[in-house]
Structure 1
Amino acid sequence: MSKPNIIVLDIETQKTFDEVGGFRNLEALKVSLVGTYLYKTDEYRAFLESEIPELEALLMEKPLVVGFNSRRFDMPVLKPYLNFNPDTLPQLDVMEEMTKILGHRVSLDSVASATLGTKKSGDGLDAIKYFRNGEWDKLKKYCLDDVRITRDIYEYGAKNKELFYTSKYGNTKGRCAVTWDIPASDNDTSEQIALF
């Protein structure tokens, strides 16, 4: 049986929101690095801006793309680099699913901390600094750490049908029921998406 065609994805950018005039100009942020976890090959891969055509070839296979705030951030930033509209890909945005249930947004760090007992290794501004300083190993580590956390949250939710988060000030822990599964094989991916 083949492994499921799922890609967990996270993007780091070259610029800050302030430098591009805010959230309305996501495409101007420009990709510095795309981190991925590929279920089919059980491997983490990082793609520099110049390597996005390699990523595009993987995305053309129509995998389920799993991310955290990926619909509103990662995919719009990635869109100018692709020869197709990434909105056509099957997607599971963990943050979006939690927001639908909770009625408010939660951060990756708050979900990671409350659900997995782990923290992010930094923030997006650190990633921009690494890019500008040419610190590629640090940039890859930071991005792939976020990919690993997102993958682990996705898998925890699939197994336990719940995720946890901390309040904005970290003093209370909340619970969020979730309904997704991890498809058993490549053939099950389209059925998985039909649930959302």
Structure 2
Amino acid sequence: MNLVFFDLESQNLFQDVGGRENISKLRVACGITWSTQTNDFSVYWEKDVPALINELRSATKVIGFNLKGFDYLVLQPYAPEVRFASIPTVDMLLDLQKTLGFRIGLDSIASATLGAAKTADGVQAVEWFREGQLEKIAEYCKADVEITRRVYEFGRDNGYIFYKSKLGSKLKVAVQWK
């Protein structure tokens, strides 16, 4: 059993590529995985995308936040022959959206469930990429993978997680992440 937690940061923003409909043009800046098999992080830069895709394809399950609506779509141009939909995936955002009826941010569930906050955001990561501050991107992406893993494990072990409402209330939502 090898669970692989995954997140990536892009080189560009939606406005740089003509909008969200051109997500495949964002290009990979950095991808980070954390594997239960190695109990460690792996860092992948754009030149390493084939190795990243191989790790994802060999996983028992890939777990992340908005994988199907973002990360996999950014990766697709690098491997047009790969059917990312066939990779066993837990997309925590989609699971929560189905249950709640609306989208929710990782920061909302991380702060409510773990008392932890994201260290930056995707816009900041693109700025770091453009400034050549690649280690900052990797550290931010690692932090997101770690938060994702901890929220997933909390939900798996307890059958629920918490999130913050738009008004700031802490609410509970059931999850089935076995």
Looking at structure 2, the residues matched to 160 and 62 of structure 1 have their Cα atoms a distance apart, in angstroms, of 24
Looking at structure 1, the residues matched to 18 and 24 of structure 2 have their Cα atoms a distance apart, in angstroms, of 11
> Is the alpha carbon distance of 1:62 and 1:42 closer, same or farther for their aligned partners in structure 2, counting shifts above 3 Å?
closer
What are the residue-to-residue correspondences of 1:141-180 with 2, within 5 Å? 141-169=139-167, 171-180=168-177
Range moving further from structure 2, 24-33 or 56-65: 56-65
Deviation at 1:105, TM superposition (A): 0.8
In structure 2, what is the equivalent of residue 138 of structure 1? 136
C-alpha RMSD over aligned residues: 1.1
Looking at structure 2, the residues matched to 87 and 174 of structure 1 have their Cα atoms a distance apart, in angstroms, of 31
Q: Please list every run of at least 4 consecutive aligned residues from structure 1 whose deviation after the TM superposition is greater than 6 angstroms.
A: none
- What SS is found at the alignment partner of 1:37? strand
Asked whether 1:79 is paired with 2:76, we answer yes
Equivalent residue in structure 1 for 2:62, among 40, 61, 65 = 65
In structure 2, what is the equivalent of residue 190 of structure 1? none
In structure 1, what is the equivalent of residue 36 of structure 2? 39
Q: Confirm or deny: 8 A CA contact 2:4 2:59 kept in the other structure.
A: no
Equivalent residue in structure 1 for 2:3, among 3, 6, 14 = 6
- What SS is found at the alignment partner of 2:58? coil
In structure 1, what is the equivalent of residue 115 of structure 2? 117
Equivalent pairs, count: 177
The residue identity in structure 2 corresponding to 1:104 is F
Deviation at 1:37, TM superposition (A): 0.6
The residue identity in structure 2 corresponding to 1:54 is A
Identity rate, percent = 39
In structure 2, what is the equivalent of residue 53 of structure 1? 50
- What SS is found at the alignment partner of 1:40? coil
Q: Where do 5+ consecutive residues of structure 2 fail to align?
A: none
In structure 2, what is the equivalent of residue 192 of structure 1? none
Looking at structure 1, the residues matched to 159 and 83 of structure 2 have their Cα atoms a distance apart, in angstroms, of 31
Looking at structure 2, the residues matched to 159 and 115 of structure 1 have their Cα atoms a distance apart, in angstroms, of 13
The residue identity in structure 2 corresponding to 1:30 is R
TM-score norm. by structure 2 comes to 0.96
Q: Where do 5+ consecutive residues of structure 1 fail to align?
A: 182-196
In structure 1, what is the equivalent of residue 22 of structure 2? 25
- Spell out, residue by residue over 1:138-196, the C-alpha distance to the aligned partner (whole angstroms, 9 max, x if none): 11000000000000011000001001111134x21111101121xxxxxxxxxxxxxxx
In structure 2, what is the equivalent of residue 93 of structure 1? 91
